């Protein structure tokens, strides 16, 4: 009987102590958990990173189970359970912990991917793909650990897993690089949707979307360029900042090719020059006062207008040549006014009897005009930024067309740029500044530089 009682007393102790350890463990770990969570939640609210709040939310319930499992593990350690039961029980507890940890990791990964995916404006397909890949990785790791817990051989499984992992990495190498680059771009926040960027490789425009793997650049509202995020991260990128005010109508850049048309008329002295010029069409006047600007933009100093050059070089009348060279085409608003001014200077000279010379045979002044073909270009500007960036790369003939031709050839009040700035962007002040700018005083390249400076200053 006493043996029986003694056995019962020992058994009671063996049961009570682990139970007490378990209950104490539960109480202690839950208390510690509560303190830890309270502090972590306060800290998480202070930080900008929303990932910590997701982490706390996901582990809040699981952590209760982890407290129970830890307590059970301690109880098992102090218990007198025979060794042959103790190890499987311990493995069982680890297995439960692993399952709980796996579920938490899956939930955490899914929530983080969705969170960042939405921030990066990733497509649902990309989010689903990322979820699947991450889940697969978590499952594989969990299975490997589980096998290790239960003492199964994992070398072969590990090798196969590594092989497949390598294959996947190789196949999706670019995607993965771009994915990581997308995360980096998001983290460093150097560029964002709405910024106007220019890559060293030439792509430029407003960023319309930053995806997981690519960044979309809207090129002048006409086309979209998809730049892989990895390229964006590797390239030198100039970021000009946020979108500027949109124009009501875009500025469409045109180019001009011209063909020289011969009139057949020629002058060998000033009298003939004046007489033919009086009756010449405006296109002839325009040609002889502007052709050198476009055809010989590389001469510095550039030659004067054709009348001045002929009078100086062929007739040898430098004084009159100087007067003709100084005729200000910028102040004279129409070709007719320009013609009248040139004719009046020549006639004044003739009436003073200062010029009787004739050109040598073959040195006559030949009256010509040009036929302009106006060609569309790929460029279109919707705001000042696009306008400025296009100006940098515009051909000289296009610049010539928009600056010189509107007033004297197409009958407009001023240059095309000023008209657009005032009418479509309400930038009257800037429009006036450009309208008052005298392009006849500079080469076309210098004109371009000065316009760029003006626009840069205005945008700043």
Partner 1 sequence: MKLGDYEAIVGKDSIQELRLLARKLSGKVIQNVNSTFTGGGVAEILSRMVPLLSELGVDARWDVIKGDKAFFEVTKKLHNALHGRDEQITPQDISIFQETSQKNIEDLSLYGDIMFIHDPQPIALVERKRGIGKRWIWRCHIDVSKPNEAAWNLLLPWVLRYDSVVFSAPAFSTPLSTRQFLISPSIDPLSDKNKELPQDTIDAVVSKYGIAKDKPLIVQISRFDYLKDPVGVIQAFRLVRRSMDCRLVLAGGTATDDPESEKVLSEVMDMSSGDPDIHVLSIPAGSDIEINALQRAATIVVQKSLKEGFGLTVSEALWKAKPVVASAVGGIPLQVKNKFTGLLSHGIEGTAYAIKQLLGKPEYARWLGENGREHVRHNFLITRHLRDYMLLFLTLEYPRDVIYI
Residues of the shown chain interacting with partner 1 in the complex, contacts defined by CB under 8 A: 255, 257-266, 283, 295-299, 303, 313, 360-364, 366, 368-376, 395, 409-410
Question: CB 312 → partner 1: shortest distance, Å?
Answer: 11
Indicate the SS3 state at residue 459.
helix
Indicate the SS3 state at residue 252.
strand
Toward partner 1, which CB reaches closer, 86 or 268?
268
Check: CB of residue 283 under 8 Å from CB of residue 370: yes
Toward partner 1, which CB reaches closer, 61 or 373?
373
Question: CB 393 → partner 1: shortest distance, Å?
Answer: 9
Toward partner 1, which CB reaches closer, 92 or 303?
303
Residue indicated by tokens 């006849």: 440
Tokens of 349: 């000279």
Toward partner 1, which CB reaches closer, 194 or 363?
363
Toward partner 1, which CB reaches closer, 292 or 440?
292
DSSP letter string, 195-219: -EEEETTS-EEEEEEE-SSEEEEEE
Cα dist. 69→1, 28, 39, 340, 344 in Å?
38, 13, 23, 103, 107
Cα dist. 196→230, 247, 388 in Å?
18, 16, 12
Check: CB of residue 186 under 8 Å from CB of residue 201: no
Toward partner 1, which CB reaches closer, 123 or 378?
378
Question: CB 240 → partner 1: shortest distance, Å?
Answer: 24
Toward partner 1, which CB reaches closer, 153 or 361?
361
Residue indicated by tokens 């005298």: 438
Toward partner 1, which CB reaches closer, 94 or 265?
265
Question: CB 295 → partner 1: shortest distance, Å?
Answer: 6
Question: CB 261 → partner 1: shortest distance, Å?
Answer: 6
Cis peptide before 301 (omega within 30 of 0): yes
Q: At what angle do helices 306-313 and 318-325 cross, to 10 degrees?
A: 170
Question: CB 405 → partner 1: shortest distance, Å?
Answer: 9
Toward partner 1, which CB reaches closer, 71 or 314?
314
Residue 421: which residues within 8 A CB-CB, separation 6 or more? 427, 428, 430, 431, 434
Toward partner 1, which CB reaches closer, 252 or 457?
252
Tokens of 227: 């730049």
What is the radius of gyration, based on Cα positions, of the chain? 42
Question: CB 106 → partner 1: shortest distance, Å?
Answer: 53
Question: CB 409 → partner 1: shortest distance, Å?
Answer: 7
C-alpha 165/C-alpha 139 separation (Å) is 13
Question: CB 257 → partner 1: shortest distance, Å?
Answer: 6
How many angstroms from the chain centroid is the CA of residue 7? 82
Question: CB 109 → partner 1: shortest distance, Å?
Answer: 48
Question: What b/e string do you get for 309-323 counting C-beta neighbours within 10 Å, with b at 16 or more?
Answer: bbbbebbebeebbeb
Sequence length of the chain is: 460
- Beta bridge mates, 237: 199
Question: CB 206 → partner 1: shortest distance, Å?
Answer: 23
Check: CB of residue 182 under 8 Å from CB of residue 213: yes
C-alpha 191/C-alpha 55 separation (Å) is 28
Toward partner 1, which CB reaches closer, 181 or 370?
370
Indicate the SS3 state at residue 153.
coil
Cα dist. 244→252, 387, 458 in Å?
18, 11, 12
Question: CB 395 → partner 1: shortest distance, Å?
Answer: 5
Toward partner 1, which CB reaches closer, 78 or 375?
375
């Amino acid at each position: 009987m006493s043996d029986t009682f003694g056995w019962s007393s020992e058994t009671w102790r063996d049961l009570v102590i682990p139970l007490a350890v378990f209950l104490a463990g539960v109480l202690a770990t839950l208390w510690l958990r509560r303190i830890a969570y309270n502090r972590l939640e306060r800290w998480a609210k202070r930080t900008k990173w929303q990932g910590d709040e997701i982490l706390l939310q996901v582990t809040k319930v699981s952590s209760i189970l982890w407290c129970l499992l830890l307590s059970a593990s301690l109880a098992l350690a102090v218990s007198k359970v025979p060794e042959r039961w103790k190890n499987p029980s311990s493995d069982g507890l680890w297995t439960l912990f692993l399952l709980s940890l796996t579920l938490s990791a899956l939930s955490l990964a899914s929530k983080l991917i969705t969170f960042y995916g939405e921030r990066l404006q990733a497509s649902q397909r990309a989010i689903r793909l990322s979820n699947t890949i991450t889940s697969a990785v978590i499952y594989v790791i969990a299975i490997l650990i589980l096998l290790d817990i239960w003492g199964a051989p994992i070398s072969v499984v590990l090798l196969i897993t590594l092989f497949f992992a390598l294959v996947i990495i190789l196949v999706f190498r670019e995607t993965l690089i771009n994915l990581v680059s997308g995360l980096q771009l998001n983290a460093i926040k150097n560029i964002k949707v709405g910024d106007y960027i220019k890559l060293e490789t030439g792509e430029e425009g407003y960023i319309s979307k930053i995806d997981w793997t690519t960044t979309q650049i809207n090129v002048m509202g006409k086309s979209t360029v998809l730049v892989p995020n990895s390229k964006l991260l590797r390239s030198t990128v100039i970021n000009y900042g946020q979108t500027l005010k949109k124009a009501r109508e875009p500025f469409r850049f045109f180019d001009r090719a011209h063909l020289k048309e011969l009139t057949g008329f020629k002058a060998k002295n000033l009298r003939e020059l004046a007489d033919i010029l009086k009756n010449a069409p405006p296109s002839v006047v325009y040609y002889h006062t502007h052709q050198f600007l476009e055809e010989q933009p590389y001469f510095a100093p550039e030659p004067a207008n054709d009348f001045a050059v002929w009078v100086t070089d062929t007739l040898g009348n430098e004084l009159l040549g100087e007067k003709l060279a100084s005729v200000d085409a910028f102040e004279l608003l129409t070709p007719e006014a320009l013609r009248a001014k040139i004719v009046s200077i020549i006639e004044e000279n003739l009436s003073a009897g200062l010029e009787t010379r004739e050109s040598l045979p073959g040195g006559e002044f030949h009256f010509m005009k040009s036929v302009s073909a106006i060609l569309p270009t790929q460029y279109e500007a919707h705001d000042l930024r696009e306008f400025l960036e296009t100006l940098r790369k515009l051909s000289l003939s296009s610049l010539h067309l928009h600056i010189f031709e509107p007033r004297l050839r197409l009958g407009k009040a001023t240059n095309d740029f000023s008209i657009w700035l005032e009418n479509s962007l309400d930038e009257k002040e800037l429009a006036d500044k450009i309208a008052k700018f005298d392009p006849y005083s500079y080469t076309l390249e210098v004109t371009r530089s000065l316009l760029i400076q003006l626009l840069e200053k205005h945008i700043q």
